[in-house]
Amino acid sequence: MTFVPTKERTPLSALRAHLTAASSPPWGGLLAVLFLLHGWSPSVAKADETTAVRVFDTRATSRVLLSSDAVCNHRNWTLVPEDTTAHKFKGDLVLLNRKLAIVLRRSGRGAEVYSLESNGATLRAELVALGGDPSTRLFAVKIVENTADTASVDATYKTSKGGRLTLGYELKQGQVFVQTQPRSGATGLQVNAPCRFAVLPDFFADDMVVDATQLMVPQTELPSENFLLHMLGDGEAILMAEWYPAKDDVRIMLSGQQQDRRITGSEIHYAPDGKICVAVLSAPGIWHRRDILPGDADRILHLGWKAPYAAHWRVDWQRDDKLTDSWEMLTQKPDGEYVKHGWYGQPESFGNIDWLKDGRQRWTTVLGSFLYPCWVDKNGEGYLQPLKERVRFEGPALIYPINRLEATPLEQFTVVDIMRATMGVGPCEYILDVEGQKKTFQGRPTCASRTILDNIYASKAQKEKREEVQRTLDEVIAFVRHIRGRIDDYAAFGHEMAAWLEQQKPAHPELTGILDDMQDTTRKMDGFVDRRKEGIKTPEYATQLVNDFRSAVVDFEGEDALIKCKKITAALVDIGGNQDELVGECRMVVKILRQKAAMAMAGDPRTASIAREVRRRTQQMLRNPTSYEAPRH
């Protein structure tokens, strides 16, 4: 059906007012988004008239954005019968399920996305087709599919230069996302969802957080890494744009002054045969912000924020150098014990006994001993306690649900849930790089080996436990060699990266300052290695210590056997401790380099190609960390 063209356009100011208004109560309904590694998949209840996807004809066109009452009650609207695709529209078209309403108005320039909640409907975004020029008004719509499970339409828009762009929209039963695909002429999607903060989740290192008040350019590019979060309103909704495969970098547009400055929207381009999904996560407190002051270090800050549901909540702290430190919050159990969950929802206790102390006390390489700085107590209340040493936090700290736990209600959603539901297990595992997330471990740590050997010789049990002694020696040298190999890999990476950055300078003389800064960051690894060179000794030295133990101590039962044992085990622990610290320091450098590359791109789009390569290389280096690198604090 061809719509009558109109010259009227929706003012951006009106859109902003609608997109930033209202708060959102919890979702109703049910979506079983199950755990990725166990092959869980989204499912919904059998459709009925309250859960099915429906297509409506409003019977009258609206020159203004639809009100909450109109979307929720759809008075005088005509329900297009199921399986009907040849309906002749008298008014505007609306796709509706229990979570979302997608409105295509004749006078609109794109699809208007509303989230549906118990207190009404809230406009969250406008999705505008791109193709050389953006769309300016809707020209025609065609129903492609109209069932209780899925409704899809092709919408054709006119551009300011008279061109035509066609975009496909698909809405499924029970889902909180709309899927878009390009048809003729369409090459990208402009997501208008005004916000101060945008987040690019990073599953290998630290997120990239874009604060509009700190970015003084009208537009810029961000790394195209498959997803972007618009943090909407005052914590009531997150709009997640997700695409696969990735094509070009993401562009964001900004406007406003000082504290009123906002990201007005983002532009994402379709890859061949690609799609872009736009989801809305909404609940009171689905995300939270707390500004950290210099005087807040080591203070317990009660946020006045309560987690709307159990989840793996991530905190993105802004450091005093403007970079981001990403931490996952501890969860307090009813008995008062604190649990640190791993990336896939399991409690991280096995194999990390040195890291898990009573209460919130922790120890990691680089940071040493500290009180874990973010947690949700047994009543769901959120707390922060900014670190006072090694790393200082200053500025906005953002909290959002990145992944689910076993206790997460089935009807609630996290970032990884949306990825799983929109992409399917194959692409999702590829993007998350499930294999690369796994930690590597060989042998037995030097401190644990010392405990075993010292206890055996203290009890003079070396003869009957000779096999255990030999096995422990095998394990401790395997551990030392494994960590040393990882350190050598980091050192080689640093040298190769510094050389590659140097090679870019002749072709990009205008970026010399940025390239120098990245080189300076990379070369910090050499400084850490030089500082600990005496402590880590050489692999040959460590091997000789073990050989000396085998030849002089294993079968020795003299009175000074324990003294001989302790002398060698202490030397091994000294090597191991220095290696552990060094591998953690090296990882920290690579994480900072990765984030600096992204921030360089945001500040100067001319760095895009360099930043992409730096981030590709850093991800490869960060794969399969050892536990002692403290990859998850």
pLDDT tens digit sequence for 446-470: 999 999 999 999 999 999 999 999 9
Cα–Cα distances in Å, from 101 out to 238, 280, 367, 394, 604? 16, 11, 47, 39, 37
Residue positions counted in the chain? 633
Question: Does pLDDT of 540 surpass 70?
Answer: yes
Domain ranges of the chain: 12-282, 288-421, 446-629
Highest-scoring range by mean pLDDT, 28-37, 89-98, 159-168, 242-251: 89-98
Residue with the two structure tokens 């203290």: 458
HSE-CB at 467 with a 13 A cutoff on CA atoms is: 1
HSE-CB at 302 with a 13 A cutoff on CA atoms is: 5
Question: Does pLDDT of 203 surpass 90?
Answer: no
Q: Considering only 93-97, 122-126, 167-171, 351-355, which range has the smallest mean pLDDT?
A: 351-355
* Reduced DSSP (H G I as helix, E B as strand, rest coil) percent helix, strand, coil of the chain, to 5: 30, 30, 40
Mean per-residue pLDDT over the chain, rounded: 87
pLDDT of 344 reads 57
Question: Does pLDDT of 198 surpass 80?
Answer: yes
The hierarchical CATH code for the domain 12-282 is 2.70.98
Contacts of 335 (CB under 8 A, 6+ apart): none
Gap between the Cα atoms of 140 and 134, Å rounded: 16
12's tokens: 């951006």
Residue with the two structure tokens 């065609």: 142
Q: In this structure, are residues 416 and 531 in contact, taking their beta carbons and an 8 Å threshold?
A: no
Q: Which is nearest to 93 in space by CA: 52, 140, 126, 127?
A: 140
Q: In this structure, are residues 226 and 246 in contact, taking their beta carbons and an 8 Å threshold?
A: yes
pLDDT of 53 reads 96
The neighbouring-strand residues paired with 347 are 341
Coil, strand or helix at 541: helix
Question: Does pLDDT of 3 surpass 60?
Answer: no
This prediction's pTM:
0.85
Question: Does pLDDT of 50 surpass 80?
Answer: no
pLDDT of 20 reads 38
Highest-scoring range by mean pLDDT, 9-23, 25-39, 65-79, 210-224: 65-79
Q: Which is nearest to 34 in space by CA: 410, 431, 432, 426?
A: 410
Over residues 358-372, mean pLDDT: 86
Confidence of residue 248 (pLDDT cuts 50, 70, 90): confident
What's the pLDDT tens digit per position in 474-533?
Answer: 999 999 999 999 999 999 999 999 999 999 999 999 999 999 999 999 999 999 999 999
Over residues 99-127, mean pLDDT: 95
The neighbouring-strand residues paired with 252 are 220, 266
Confidence of residue 134 (pLDDT cuts 50, 70, 90): confident
Helices 512-536, 466-504: crossing angle, 10 deg rounding: 160
Strands of 288-292's sheet, edge to edge? 288-292, 395-403, 312-318, 324-328
Q: Between vectors from CA 67 to CA 149 and to CA 401, what angle results, nearest 5°?
A: 60
Q: In this structure, are residues 599 and 483 in contact, taking their beta carbons and an 8 Å threshold?
A: no
Say how many C-beta atoms besides its own lie within 10 A of residue 368's C-beta: 11
Question: Does pLDDT of 594 surpass 60?
Answer: yes
Q: Which is nearest to 250 in space by CA: 225, 270, 274, 224?
A: 224
Question: Does pLDDT of 592 surpass 90?
Answer: yes
Residue with the two structure tokens 């993105």: 316
> What kind and span of H or E run contains 331?
strand 330-332
Helices 415-423, 425-432: crossing angle, 10 deg rounding: 130
Gap between the Cα atoms of 101 and 306, Å rounded: 28
Gap between the Cα atoms of 134 and 156, Å rounded: 12
What's the pLDDT tens digit per position in 323-354?
Answer: 999 999 999 989 888 988 876 555 554 334 44
Question: Does pLDDT of 67 surpass 70?
Answer: yes
Question: Does pLDDT of 10 surpass 90?
Answer: no
Helices 561-603, 608-622: crossing angle, 10 deg rounding: 160
Contacts of 260 (CB under 8 A, 6+ apart): none
Based on C-alpha coordinates, what's the Rg of the chain? 28
Residue 100 φ/ψ, nearest 5 degrees: -135, 155
Q: In this structure, are residues 274 and 180 in contact, taking their beta carbons and an 8 Å threshold?
A: no
